[in-house]
Amino acid sequence: MSDKVRVALVGCGNIGSGGHAPAYARVPGAELVVACDLLPGRAEAVARATGAEPCGSFQEVVARDDVDAVDLCVPTDRHAPLAVEALQAGKHVLCEKPIARTLEEADAMIAAAREAGRVLMVGHVRRFDHRYVAVKGALRAGDVGRPIYIRRAERQWLPVPADVWYWRPEAGGGVIVDIGVHIADMFRWLLEDEPVSVYAVGRQVRQAAREANSFDHALMTFRFAGGAIAVAEASWAYQPSFGRGLYAALDIVGTAGTLHDSDQQANPMLVYDATQGPQLPHYFRFMSTTEHAFQAEIAHFVACVRGEHPPAISPHDARRALEMALAAQRSAETGSVVPL
């Protein structure tokens, strides 16, 4: 390996171009050498911004000797086939969440990483966001005692047309798999416990969801082995003016206190406009997390590739979060409690 871990970014859409690509310039041990996308214009735009080489062929990427690792920011149903191919070619893999569309695909990725002796890390970026790192620290310090109840809400207006893959259950899984998997991983991480069951209710609010037969609003209740209850709301159906993006809140009730965190607290300035009403300035491109979190995530991945430590989010952790989300999906579809 060269002095730097040489990375190919595969998928130059919203998260790839806005979250991952700029972070590489701020990680001293990494170099973004290739930007790959099926749409040449997107790869070329990232290449111009970063100095990487544009490419339109994934097969060319994994065949290159100057690529040590592949960063996958592609639709969920493409995670497993591309990750397995990259791992079998001897590349390390950073893959956006969720790990895969199905548990069988997740198992194939994990097996490929084990057989190749390469790092497989899934980008559950909330674990690198300074706000949630602080929450985790408060819980470990015992500031609220033993957590017995968590409520998490992640709410937005999904700003993509009805024909985009997010809406299709077979491609992205709908809001429970796409957003709920973030919450599922957060619950396990914060509680340091395993879920035993889930009950969920899903709704099809927007026309795009109804056309795709996919949920765009869901409520999920997880029971954990230690007795804690964790309630989640995941939605793509809140109006665009609701925070102008993904608007999240977190409440934790413990035996000795309570904790509250909200994205609203990250926007301390509120501007009232005579024509548009209240406006919350954006301090970060993504309301769901910060650019600093992507940088910390990628720096952690690079250190893993260098053998400095194993991934903080193990492949098992990522698979478990997917298992929780898929169980919630089944519960919403059947109206029954699903054991875990």
The DSSP secondary structure of 206-252, one letter per residue, reads SHHHHHHT--SEEEEEEEETTS-EEEEEEESBS-TTTTTS-EEEEEE
> Using an 8 Å Cβ cutoff, are 135 and 188 in contact?
no
Q: What pLDDT is recorded for position 195? A: 98
Task: Give percent of the chain above pLDDT 90.
Answer: 84
327: alpha, beta or left, given left = phi > 0 and alpha = psi -120 to 50? alpha
**Cis ω for the linkage preceding 98 (within 30 of 0):** yes
Per residue in 52-83, pLDDT (tens digit) is 999 999 999 999 999 999 999 999 999 999 99
* 231 has a pLDDT exceeding 90: yes
CA distance 16 to 37: 10
Tokens standing for 55? Answer: 């490419």
What angle (nearest 5°) sits at the alpha carbon of residue 331, between those of residues 330 and 337? Answer: 135
Instruction: Burial-class residue 301 by CB neighbours within 10 Å (0-12, 13-18, 19+).
Output: buried
Amino acid at 328: A
Per residue in 263-289, pLDDT (tens digit) is 765 555 666 677 766 666 555 555 566
Identify the CA nearest to 15 among candidates 74, 93, 80: 74
- More confidently predicted of 278 and 15: 15
Domains of the chain: residue spans and CATH: 5-125 (3.40.50.720), 127-291+321-339 (3.30.360.10)
- More confidently predicted of 286 and 100: 100
Q: What pLDDT is recorded for position 264? A: 65
Identify the CA nearest to 121 among candidates 5, 222, 203: 5
Identify the CA nearest to 123 among candidates 71, 175, 81: 71
Question: pTM for this structure?
Answer: 0.93
> Using an 8 Å Cβ cutoff, are 46 and 35 in contact?
yes
Cα dihedral sign, 61-46-155-148: positive
Q: What pLDDT is recorded for position 125? A: 94
Work out the pLDDT band at 292, boundaries 50, 70, 90.
Answer: confident
Q: What are phi and psi of 122, to 5 degrees?
A: -105, 135
Per residue in 158-211, pLDDT (tens digit) is 989 999 999 999 999 999 999 999 999 999 999 999 999 999 999 999 999 999
Under DSSP, the state recorded for 171 is T
* 115 has a pLDDT exceeding 90: yes
* 98 has a pLDDT exceeding 90: yes
Query: Mean of the per-residue pLDDT values for the chain?
Result: 92
CA distance 322 to 281: 33
Identify the CA nearest to 327 among candidates 340, 314, 317: 340
Per residue in 125-165, pLDDT (tens digit) is 999 999 899 999 999 999 999 999 999 999 988 989 999 99
Q: What pLDDT is recorded for position 278? A: 61
* 107 has a pLDDT exceeding 70: yes
